[in-house]
């Protein structure tokens, strides 16, 4: 399991897939790659890794994919891993595909499940706007799999991992790209891929200033803020919050859609959420066809009241 | 400056999986993958900025994919290379990246551009596999691109904000659809596209095999969602939402 980390913390998506791997009953090793990341190995042990390989080197500081391909490729060769798992992110997708080419290994992506069937691993992938589910397999080893973010919950086992350092040797082309400036955060609060609750806003909010309604509700629920493509394109909210076909796919436990019509481009990014609550003044909005609770009403009225009630209830 | 743009023809209109082959039905009309138009646009801009050069389209697909390439030629690309071979049908990431890399090796471009994803298979990983096969640096999800002094500098959109990454040419860059607004082909462009060089090559011309290391086993319906409860706000909706969330232990 390739364990991604950001600002000194293992990413929840990675820990979720790690839990899934441990649950499949295999001997699961985590791989942590970066600079000054040794202490993350112990953390991975608590979430189900029996062993953690750590590649810790100054040359691995920037979150660039190609050096990570080098580390994983030599690990797979030396340790004989038959399966390598990744939780979807901009970085992990590039690492997984680079590794697939390096090892000539099959990569199945956007998986929402993995199971053992007659001794074979079978992945499940929603396709064509999630209108059909496809069972996918691998015709050889190693198998590479990239999971849709938020698919599995991390499970704290409280275990401890055996830690092994890995020597780092990078290919020439893997050292060519350099990070000039890194990760200028654009939003506050929990990251979208990490959040159990997402409150998202669309055109129906009426203007960028009304995103504060969404932010306040997200804060009250302890969630993250998401946005539709339309409002990102209109410059109301940053791209890093965009949910949908050209943004992120998320599946939080609770998704609250405020003033979102539910166009297919948005739907594909959020319809696998646990519970979907939609508030929209148009009773014919498509989102009412795939939500659990649909409220036909004015977001400017309903959302602030909801925020207040949630605050009261949570005593904050 | 020689720029190659990898483009794909995707089925137009409603997409379906062929229950027999379990592959995407590609028998109907095809169109240029809309995400690739952003890569073509960016290539044209880089070429214009550098004052000289060539934009070459590189694609893999059925013979009729030539129609989709013509649209990109009409936008202003100079010529097109289509790898078309029955042996390439059903190729997955491993196979497709091997074929495209071979076609690109033949062209030796300074810069290879990809669009953000394929609208048919929703794949968004090919560039990284191709870059690996070419042994070139890669920058993906690029919302702003500057090419100057033998370097590509890209602003990468990530989950956490923006990174700025620089790589020496030759390099592979995948652009986000936020990078530009693709131009519409002019009438002159459409007319001119017909006389631009379009070459079709086979796998044996390139000396590669496609192949796949993944397989589709079965198709099924998505898990059903439960019933939707729909209410109209009579001033009390917020309280009803809270009650609903409490029942489901979400707050």
CATH number of the domain where residue A158 is located: 3.40.50.620
The answer to the question of residue A190 being in a domain is no
Mark yes or no for CB contact A295/B231 under 8 Å: yes
Answer whether B240 touches A (CB < 8 Å).
Answer: yes
Angle at Cα A225 formed by Cα A222 and Cα A228, nearest 5°?
A: 155
Q: How many A-B residue pairs are in contact by the CB < 8 A criterion? A: 275
- For A274, the closest chain B residue by CA position comes to B225
pLDDT tens profile A20-39: 999 997 689 999 999 999 99
Lowest-pLDDT choice from A40-54, A140-154, A237-251: A237-251
Mark yes or no for CB contact B164/A181 under 8 Å: yes
A96, two tokens: 């997984």
Q: Same domain, yes or no, for A30 and A160?
A: yes
- For B218, the closest chain A residue by CA position comes to A135
Which residues of chain A are within 8 Å of residue B129 when distances are taken between CB atoms? 97-98, 100-101
Residue A47 has pLDDT above 80, yes or no: yes
The answer to the question of residue A60 being in a domain is yes
Residue B191 buriedness (CB in 10 A; 0-12 / 13-18 / 19+): exposed
Q: Best interface-test mutation with A: which of B160, B209, B229, B248 has the largest number of A CBs within 10 A?
A: B160
pLDDT tens profile B143-191: 999 999 999 999 998 888 889 999 999 999 999 988 999 999 999 999 9
The answer to the question of residue A247 being in a domain is yes
Q: Same domain, yes or no, for A220 and A162?
A: no
Number of domains composing chain A: 2
Answer whether B68 touches A (CB < 8 Å).
Answer: no
Would you say A130 and B222 are in contact if contact means Cβ atoms under 8 Å apart?
Answer: yes
The answer to the question of residue A69 being in a domain is yes
Q: Best interface-test mutation with B: which of A114, A127, A251 has the largest number of B CBs within 10 A?
A: A127
Picking from A175, A205, A224, the residue at the C-terminal end of a domain is A175
Q: Same domain, yes or no, for A266 and A296?
A: yes
Q: For chain A, give the percent of residues with pLDDT over 90.
A: 78
Q: Same domain, yes or no, for A118 and A222?
A: no
> The whole model's pTM is what?
0.88
Q: Same domain, yes or no, for A161 and A282?
A: no
Mark yes or no for CB contact A302/B222 under 8 Å: no
The answer to the question of residue A58 being in a domain is yes
Q: Same domain, yes or no, for A32 and A167?
A: yes
Q: Same domain, yes or no, for A160 and A220?
A: no
CA distance B216 to chain A (A): 5
The answer to the question of residue A185 being in a domain is no
Answer whether B163 touches A (CB < 8 Å).
Answer: yes
The answer to the question of residue A51 being in a domain is yes
The answer to the question of residue A57 being in a domain is yes
- Give the per-residue pLDDT at B119: 78
Enclosing domain of residue A93: 2-175
Q: Same domain, yes or no, for A137 and A234?
A: no
- Give the per-residue pLDDT at A184: 67
Mark yes or no for CB contact B223/A133 under 8 Å: yes
Question: Region A42-55: what's the mean pLDDT?
Answer: 95
pLDDT tens profile A76-135: 999 999 999 999 999 999 999 999 999 999 999 999 999 999 989 999 998 887 788 999
pLDDT tens profile B50-95: 999 999 999 999 999 999 999 999 999 999 999 999 999 889 999 9
Nearest to B156 by CA among A224, A282, A62, A275: A62
Picking from A140, A175, A210, the residue at the C-terminal end of a domain is A175
């Amino acid at each position: 399991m390739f364990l991604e980390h950001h600002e000194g913390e293992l990413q929840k998506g990675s820990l979720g897939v790690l839990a899934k791997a441990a649950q499949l009953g295999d001997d699961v090793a985590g791989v942590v790659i970066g600079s000054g990341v040794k202490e993350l190995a112990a953390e991975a042990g608590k979430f189900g890794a029996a062993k953690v390989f750590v590649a810790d080197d100054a040359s691995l500081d920037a979150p660039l994919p190609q050096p990570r391909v080098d580390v994983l490729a030599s690990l797979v060769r030396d340790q004989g891993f038959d399966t390598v798992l990744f939780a979807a992110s901009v970085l992990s997708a590039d690492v997984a595909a680079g590794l697939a080419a390096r090892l000539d290994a099959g990569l199945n992506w956007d998986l929402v499940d993995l199971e053992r069937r007659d001794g074979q691993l079978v992945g499940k992938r929603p396709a064509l706007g999630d209108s059909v589910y496809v069972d996918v397999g691998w015709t050889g080893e190693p198998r590479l799999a990239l999971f849709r973010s938020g698919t599995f919950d991390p499970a704290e086992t409280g275990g401890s991992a055996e830690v092994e350092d890995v020597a780092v040797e990078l290919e020439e082309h893997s050292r060519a790209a350099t990070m000039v400036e890194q990760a200028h955060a654009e939003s506050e609060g929990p990251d979208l891929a990490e959040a159990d609750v997402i409150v998202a806003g669309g055109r129906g909010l009426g203007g960028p200033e009304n995103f504060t309604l969404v932010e306040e509700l997200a804060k009250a629920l302890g969630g993250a803020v998401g946005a539709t493509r339309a409002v990102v394109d209109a410059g109301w909210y940053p791209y890093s919050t965009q949910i949908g076909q050209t943004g992120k796919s998320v599946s939080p436990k609770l998704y609250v859609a405020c003033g979102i019509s539910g166009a297919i481009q948005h739907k594909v990014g959020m319809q696998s959420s646990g519970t979907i609550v939609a508030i929209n003044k148009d009773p014919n909005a498509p989102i009412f066809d795939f939500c659990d609770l649909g409220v036909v009403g004015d977001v400017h009225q309903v959302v602030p009241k909801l925020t207040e009630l949630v605050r009261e209830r949570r005593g904050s | 400056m020689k720029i190659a743009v990898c483009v794909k023809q995707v089925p137009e209109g409603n997409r379906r999986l062929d229950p027999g082959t379990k592959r995407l039905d590609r028998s109907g009309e095809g169109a240029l993958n809309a995400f690739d138009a952003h890569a073509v646009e960016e290539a044209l801009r880089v070429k214009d900025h550098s004052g000289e050069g060539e934009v070459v389209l590189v694609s893999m697909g059925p013979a009729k994919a030539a129609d989709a390439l013509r649209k990109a030629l009409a936008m202003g690309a100079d010529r097109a290379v289509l790898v078309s071979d029955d042996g390439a049908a059903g190729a997955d990431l491993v196979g497709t990246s091997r074929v495209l890399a071979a076609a690109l090796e033949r062209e030796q471009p300074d810069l290879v551009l990809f669009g953000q994803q394929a609208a048919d298979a929703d794949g968004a990983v090919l560039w990284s596999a191709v870059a690996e096969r070419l042994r070139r640096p890669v920058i993906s999800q690029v919302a702003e691109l500057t090419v100057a002094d033998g370097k590509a500098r890209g602003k990468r959109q990530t989950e956490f904000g923006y990174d700025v990454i620089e790589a020496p040419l030759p390099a592979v860059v995948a652009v986000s659809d936020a990078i530009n607004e693709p131009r519409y082909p002019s009438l002159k462009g459409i007319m001119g596209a017909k006389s631009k060089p379009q070459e079709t090559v086979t796998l044996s011309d390139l000396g590669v095999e496609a192949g796949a290391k993944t397989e589709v086993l079965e198709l099924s319906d998505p898990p059903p969602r439960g019933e939707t409860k729909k209410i109209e706000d009579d001033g009390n909706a917020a309280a009803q939402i809270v009650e609903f969330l409490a029942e489901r232990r979400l707050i």
